[in-house]
Amino acid sequence: MKTKKITKEEILNLLPYKRPFLFVDEILTLNEEQIVAQYTFRQDEFFYEGHFVDSPITPGVILTECMAQIGLASLGLYLIRDSVKNKAPDVAMTSNEVNYYKLVLPGEKVVVTAIKEYFRFNKLKSKVEMVNDSGTLVAKGFVSGMVIKY
């Protein structure tokens, strides 16, 4: 069976997220085994207003979501590309194990690398790592979930 070509831009357009809950700006590298993508946390993100007042930082749950959108949703879309029509599949995170090492402030860019651990029966587990612009480790761990195709 011939594998369908799909571009990085098509992956971004097929993601089941939109602003203000899309945390992938650009896919830098993408293949069967890994993805590298980036996102800049804009000054006006909705969650900064209340987290924390007068001293905003990016919540850990948002950092995890960013890693999942890259390491599960984007990589998962690429892996099921032969069955993707013009509708985004659902992606459900089933587990994560993430450790945090550095704060991410408004205006900071992060780069996420996700390496496929396994992909079977539409269940994907990825080893993820997030670094900031200076290459300092922000967070790392594992995310896994189901990619439900239509």
Name the catalytic one among 8, 12, 42, 51: 51
For the question of residue 24 being annotated catalytic, the response is no
CA distance 61 to 10: 26
Strand order in the sheet with 90-100: 26-30, 34-40, 109-120, 123-132, 137-148, 90-100
DSSP per-residue letters across 10-62 = HHHHHSS--TTS----EEEEE-SSEEEEEEE--TT-TTTTTSSTTS----HHH
Query: Is 130 in a helix, a strand, or coil?
Result: strand
**What phi and psi, each to the nearest 5 degrees, are found at residue 78?**
-65, -40
| Active site residues per annotation | 51
